[in-house]
Structure 1
């Protein structure tokens, strides 16, 4: 990587005891997508929303004490030239595709902000140490998009989907339904997924097994 292609800025999260830092790097400045990122989004905006989204996620998960949170010290967002998914998160690193940014039709800054709400949720959420269904993990990430109002018109409507763990926007809508029945449900579920996962968590929190919850959810929106 050439020095002129790297721009690194670190912002501390206050209070200092939390020591969360944010880094944004455009590794694709010479590509059309990387250039569009610089023109329409930029590193300063990325750092600003990384911190804002971090606060937002902790608030939705009701993680007001440091002991309740994942021990995240440094979060990095990379703009990289690769083909495939629009963004991929590995641990505390979020890789955003410059090719996706290049080809996106519409308000790129809005879409990018929506995308980071999803990807940064993966950084901070619990997943039962890998035991939680992928659909639930992805659904929680899309739930953040839903709660932040950064969801597109094509986002799943309430009551749609074939399974509770279908993932993404379908599962996000089901989580929204559970939250309506029990305020704080999503936060409690996330906390209970710190070390393990079982479908019995839904019985514990909602008083009903998942098949019944899903059937009642579908029935509510059947019309």
Structure 2
């Protein structure tokens, strides 16, 4: 009996020891983390529970800071949500990401496999920014086309590009196909028309007739015209080193600095936007040089810029003695003490 009791005690002790967690061994259960960053009046809150997503979150924060406030001010002044929330959640229906209200749900597996796909985040942030009323009957192709249009305008980190034009496409194909069509409409055919239609949708009204109202032609007529001369759209896709066409916080040296070489395709206006960031006033000088001949084809000097003042410069177009198709270099001279932001706008001054 004593031996039996000892065996029972030993067995009980073994069970007890087995149930005690090993000291110093961390639990495998993920610890939820929340990060918050701000950009002006706007805030991004990111929630995640996988430490492998930390670097992705940092990239999302950088993209948010460089794009959300600008998109909000351009597309939804006074209407865009002040806070955007990103959550990493798996959803079989949406294998990449989707937005609902001011929340963006990203598939964590996709985010880890494609950490540099910042354009996806820009696309989803536009769905947050657009502020379309719940009851508005705007078709899906319009909504997704607008989101990819914003992606093409504000995402310069990735290698994503608008798709080539094909005879088999339709404007209702959505996403990149529709976005490229919108670029042609908004920058070449009827400057500012897409932005005006977008604003009407924000005011709870959509109809295909809006395109005729703002362009003078129906959607089928516009699409037919677009497909007959798609080469003009190529002017909206300039090639930049590292896909960078926006420069922020450039400190003046007083010297002419080469910023990048780009491919130019005739057929559209292409503006440079310049903004002064500090109290030092001055004039910014731009110079466009033919890469093959070394000949200067265009020079421009802004008026005196004050803090937060803007200037628009049309470097290459039929209005400024349109040069031939080819490679060109852009040189910029910023006076000492000045600090500026500048970017290329594919098309013209209308976003």
Both proteins in one fold, TM over 0.5: yes
- Residue 333 of structure 2: aligned partner: none
RMSD: 2.7
Unaligned runs of 5+ in 1: none
Shift of 1:58: 2.7
Quick one: higher RCO (CA 8 Å, sep 6+), 1 or 2?
1
Over 6 Å off, 4+ runs? none
Query: Which residues of 2 match residues 111-190 of structure 1 at below 5 A?
Result: 111=117, 113-127=118-132, 129-148=135-154, 149=156, 152=159, 155-158=162-165, 162-179=169-186, 180-190=188-198
For normalisation by structure 1, the TM-score amounts to 0.77
Contact 1:117 1:145 in 2 (8 A): yes
- Residue 8 of structure 1: aligned partner: 34
Highest CA radius of gyration, 1 or 2?
2
Q: Distance in 2 between matches of 1:3 and 1:196?
A: 48
For normalisation by structure 2, the TM-score amounts to 0.51
- Residue 207 of structure 1: aligned partner: 216
> Where is the strand percentage greater, Structure 1 or Structure 2?
2
Report the 3-state secondary structure (helix = DSSP H, G, I; strand = E; otherwise coil) of the residue aligned with 2:34: coil
> Where is the helix percentage greater, Structure 1 or Structure 2?
1
Number of equivalent positions:
199
Q: Output one character per residue of 1:128-159: Cα deviation in whole Å (capped at 9) or x when no partner.
A: 64311101100111111211235645641145
Unaligned runs of 5+ in 2: 1-27, 232-351
Shift of 1:79: 1.8
Contact 2:162 2:176 in 1 (8 A): yes
Q: Distance in 1 between matches of 2:48 and 2:132?
A: 29
Shift of 1:187: 1.9
Paired residue for 1:219, among 215, 228, 235? 228
Change (3 A) 1:77 1:187: same
Paired residue for 2:84, among 51, 75, 78? 75
